[in-house]
Amino acid sequence: MCPIVFAGFAPHPPLLIEGVGNEGKTEVAQTDRAYRQLAARLAETNPETVLVVTPHGPVFSDAYTIAGWDTLKGDFTPFGSPVSMIWEADTEYSRRAEELAAARGLPLLAINSRQLASHRYSTGLDHGTMVPLWYLREAGWQGKVVCIRIGGLPPRQCYEIGKVLRDAAEGNVAVIASGDLSHCLSEDGPSPYNPAGAEFDHTIAAALGKSDYQAVLSIPPEFRQRAAECGWRPLVTLLGALDGLVSQSEVLSYQGPFGVGYLVAAFTLAAGVKPGFTFPRAQPADASAHVQLAREAIRRYLLRGQAMDLPNPPPPLDVPAAAFVSLKLDDQLRGCIGTIEPEHENLGKEIIANAIAAATGDPRFEPVTAEELEQLSISVDVLSEPVPADYSQLNPAKLGLVAQWKGRRGLLLPDLPGVDTPEEQLQIVCSKAGIPLDKAGEAKLFTFSVKRFF
């Protein structure tokens, strides 16, 4: 008998909650009705425990975490509502899930309140968890809860952790993946408008409307980044929990008010088994000579332990230029090293040195393996010479930024996801350089343009 009796994907706008933004309630009335339908259907299956997978709260880059204390509390006072909740945590389930994940080599950790406090995080539930729980309470469901917070892991690991969540269950459980879709549907959305947002949301809605889970798993990372979403990884985790099970998904509603996509979907389970799904192996296409050289330089270094020779590089690699080499595994940064000014006699040698350094010497990451290399997406940014600038000239979409202050120097490339304003760009550069934010006005600023090669 399958331990999962129901599953759902739902958004988490606090506006849905009683007492929050009542003037905007009519804009989300369709979502509210669908949410109540989802909660009622879940309550009818009477699960002993509900697992909520959320992209918010204390989220770590290298692991999924479970709130590992006995009583889970949260409230909506930050959003202007007196609504509060207390739920009993299923700590026995959390222990089993952590042990099973460890046996499979997966980073899923139950953390306690002291550990969170040591990182200066609150133990209160985040809104990504509380919104679906509020609807379950309204539907009359009472049971135990497990709060699972996603990590910045490769999607395959997210999917495998979903399998752990299924296999750790001993009684009946339901799974709710909490997540909004695109945040860039309109000019007044929380992220700058991007037409990819509506396309992404349509892709998800169409796939779930046909129970085509493979289509969800196959969405490429560049597409997801342009859509500025927060729900894909929770959804992938849910699909992992349904791996091999007979299930059917139904879209109950979709709205895109306020520039954010809200989709509510229900997953019903049936007896039987079916083949699981797999992620398409990444097959990066190196279109430019710059990236082809970077990949070959890394490959030879991993095989031979020494840098490749390039005595006579062809144009345009034969002239001096500064460059950054960035490595990504799916949509996660895997290494990035570069130079602000040329350090080698030509761009070809600059790329070779920086590619090897990005793969093996970026202190934020473990060295790249030969197996990973075949799946890495590589980009090479060739920098123009930095020119002096003032704050009014900053343009994070088109111009990179260098800040200098008392011997400290930081750099940020242009056109990075999540860096949308000059203020954000300057804050990040100062943080990287160790420049106090209250001294940012004293820093010398330089901008530069890049040509990005894939």
Tokens of 59: 């989220």
Query: So what's the pLDDT on residue 1?
Result: 59
Range of the domain at 250: 4-273
User: Residues 225, 289: one domain?
Assistant: no
Burial profile 1-40: b = 16 or more Cβ within 10 angstroms, e = fewer: ebbbbbbbbbbbbbbbbeebbeeeeeebebbbebbbbbbe
User: Residues 421, 354: one domain?
Assistant: no
Query: So what's the pLDDT on residue 284?
Result: 67
Nearest to 156 by CA among 67, 266, 264, 276: 276
Is residue 18 a part of any domain in this protein? yes
Is residue 122 a part of any domain in this protein? yes
Distance CA 169, CA 100 (A): 11
Which domain-ending residue is among 249, 273, 297? 273
Partners of 338 in the β-ladder: 324
Nearest to 13 by CA among 105, 69, 76: 76
Length of the chain: 454
State the average pLDDT over residues 217-242.
92
DSSP 47: -
Which domain-ending residue is among 382, 413, 440? 382
Report the range of poorest mean pLDDT among 28-37, 264-273, 328-337. 328-337
Burial of 329 (0-12, 13-18, 19+ CB in 10 A): buried
| Residues ≥6 apart with Cβ < 8 Å to 359 | 298, 301, 302, 327, 335, 367, 368, 373
pLDDT at 283 over 70: no
User: Residues 311, 394: one domain?
Assistant: no
User: Residues 310, 393: one domain?
Assistant: no
Per-residue pLDDT tens for 111-135? Answer: 988 888 777 788 899 999 999 999 9
User: Residues 157, 69: one domain?
Assistant: yes
State the average pLDDT over residues 291-317.
95
Task: CATH number of the domain at 412, please.
Answer: 3.30.1490.150
Which domain-ending residue is among 273, 307, 333? 273
Is residue 162 a part of any domain in this protein? yes
Per-residue pLDDT tens for 193-216? Answer: 889 999 999 999 999 999 999 999
User: Residues 215, 78: one domain?
Assistant: yes
Query: So what's the pLDDT on residue 277?
Result: 76
Nearest to 242 by CA among 176, 300, 299: 176
| Residues ≥6 apart with Cβ < 8 Å to 74 | 84, 85, 124, 125, 126, 129, 130, 133
User: Residues 197, 318: one domain?
Assistant: no
Residue 338 · residue 309 · CB < 8 Å? no
pLDDT at 285 over 80: no
DSSP 60: B
Is residue 222 a part of any domain in this protein? yes
Task: CATH number of the domain at 328, please.
Answer: 3.30.700.20
Per-residue pLDDT tens for 353-376? Answer: 999 999 999 998 999 999 889 888
Task: CATH number of the domain at 179, please.
Answer: 3.40.830.10
Nearest to 46 by CA among 138, 137, 142: 142
User: Residues 246, 128: one domain?
Assistant: yes
pTM: 0.77
Higher local confidence (pLDDT), 315 or 117: 315
Number of H helices, E strands in the chain: 13, 18
Per-residue pLDDT tens for 384-441? Answer: 999 999 999 999 989 999 999 999 999 999 988 768 789 999 999 999 999 999 999 9
Residue 165 · residue 101 · CB < 8 Å? no
Counted domains in the chain: 3
pLDDT at 144 over 80: yes
User: Residues 229, 340: one domain?
Assistant: no
User: Residues 198, 117: one domain?
Assistant: yes
Q: What confidence tier does 223 reach under pLDDT thresholds 50, 70, 90?
A: confident
Distances (CA, A) of 79 to 26, 27, 84, 176: 18, 18, 12, 22
Residue 182 · residue 229 · CB < 8 Å? yes
Residue 372, classed as helix, strand or coil, is helix
pLDDT at 257 over 80: yes
Query: So what's the pLDDT on residue 366?
Result: 92
Is residue 278 a part of any domain in this protein? no
User: Residues 151, 108: one domain?
Assistant: yes
Residue 412, classed as helix, strand or coil, is strand
Distance CA 231, CA 11 (A): 8
User: Residues 421, 361: one domain?
Assistant: no
Is residue 423 a part of any domain in this protein? yes
HSE-CB of 318 using CA atoms within 13 angstroms: 5
